Every structure is written in C-alpha cells, then in structure tokens.
C-alpha cells in the first residue's frame, strides 16, 4: 500500500524534467505534492532549493521530501546538515529499500544526470512503499537525529 503522506519536492536546473516526472508519478498515486522549485532551465544554485525542502522536513512541516540535482551530491550535502533530516542519495533499488528499512530516510535524493527516468520512478515507488524496521535501527538513529541545524 503506497504511503499517502504529502511530499515536498525541489530541484535545480539540472533535474527539472525529472522533477516534473516524479511529481506526475506522485500525483497519480494520490499523493499531495508541494513544489518548492525551481522550474525551467535557468541556472540556479542548488542550496537555495535544498534548504527550502530540507528545512520543511527538519521542522516537521512535511514528513517526506525529495530533492534532485545533477548528481544528487550537492543536494544531499545540504539536506544532511539539517537536524532530523535523513537524506539518502540513491541510484539502486537495494540501497533505497535499505534507506527506509534501516535508516528511516525521510528525504530521497536523486541525480538527474546520473539515472534515467524509469529507474527514478522505481526508486520513488520503493522508497514510498518500504517500511522502517525500528528496533535496533531506531536506537542508532537516536544517536544522531538531533545533530545539525534546527530551523
Ligand atoms: C549543476 O551544474 C550541478 O553542479 C548540480 O546540479 C549538482 O550536481 C551539484 O551537486
């Protein structure tokens, strides 16, 4: 059963097309999507959009976020500076499933210049459908969850 939790999504100019596809996919699943930008091909700075999405997840406005840039690296660096954000840059199905089962990832990062759209959609699907296992994994998360910037 896909999770229906609203998702905030953001990208830079390197991954706008992929962001639109992901948005379309989420909306088809009945998931409400908040688009934090950017839109279009004009060159922008990825931290501006990464901060918008990561801060909304950090302060609990959204439980889930998705960020995309060319490689996904810049966005994941930005996002993981925020308290309570567990951003996972994924490009394979095993890692994205584990990012939920063991790390309770609440922010998925995709590299629009690294992976294709079909794989991106599959990663989003698995990320939404896979449950956190809790238990020993929760106590590990408790050791670092509060670290980072609070917003
Ligand atoms: C933009 O050219 C590119 O640097 C950005 O999308 C991202 O890959 C940064 O990590």
Question: Does the beta carbon of 71 sit less than 6 angstroms from any atom of ligand 1?
Answer: yes
Indicate yes or no: pTM above 0.85.
yes
For residue 144, pLDDT beyond 80: yes
Report how far residue 127's alpha carbon sits from residue 34's, in angstroms, rounded to the nearest whole number: 18
Q: For 145, which DSSP code? A: T
Question: Does the beta carbon of 104 sit less than 6 angstroms from any atom of ligand 1?
Answer: no
Is the sign of the CA dihedral 85, 87, 93, 94 positive or negative? Answer: negative
Give the pLDDT band of residue 148 (cuts 50, 70, 90).
confident
* Spatial contact of 83 and 149, defined as CB atoms under 8 Å apart: yes
For residue 3, pLDDT beyond 90: no
**Contact residues for 142 (Cβ-Cβ < 8 A; gap 6+):** none
Check residue 151 and give its pLDDT. Answer: 84
Report how far residue 74's alpha carbon sits from residue 46's, in angstroms, rounded to the nearest whole number: 7
Mutate to test the pocket of ligand 1, among 11, 12, 50 (most ligand atoms within 8 A of CB): 12
Report how far residue 52's alpha carbon sits from residue 120's, in angstroms, rounded to the nearest whole number: 22
User: Ligand 1 centre from 50 Cα, in Å?
Assistant: 12
Write down the residue that tokens 């059963």 correspond to: 1
| Annotation says 102 is catalytic | yes
Residues 88-115 have a mean pLDDT of 98
- Cβ atoms < 10 Å from Cβ of 9: 24
Domains, the chain: 7-142 (3.40.1400.10)
Report how far residue 101's alpha carbon sits from residue 110's, in angstroms, rounded to the nearest whole number: 18
* Spatial contact of 87 and 79, defined as CB atoms under 8 Å apart: yes
């Amino acid at each position: 059963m896909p999770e229906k939790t609203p998702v905030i999504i953001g990208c830079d100019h390197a991954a706008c097309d992929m962001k639109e596809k992901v948005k379309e996919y989420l909306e088809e699943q009945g998931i409400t999507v908040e688009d934090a930008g950017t839109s279009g091909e004009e060159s922008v700075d990825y931290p501006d959009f990464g901060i918008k999405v990561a801060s909304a997840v950090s302060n609990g406005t959204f439980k889930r976020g998705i960020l995309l840039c060319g490689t996904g690296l810049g966005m994941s660096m930005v996002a993981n500076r925020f308290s309570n954000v567990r951003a996972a840059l994924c490009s394979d199905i095993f890692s994205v499933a584990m990012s939920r089962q063991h790390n309770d990832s609440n922010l998925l990062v995709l590299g629009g210049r690294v992976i294709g759209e079909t794989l991106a959609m599959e990663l989003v699907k698995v990320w939404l459908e896979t449950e956190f296992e809790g238990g020993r994994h929760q106590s590990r998360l408790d050791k670092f969850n509060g670290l980072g910037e609070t917003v």
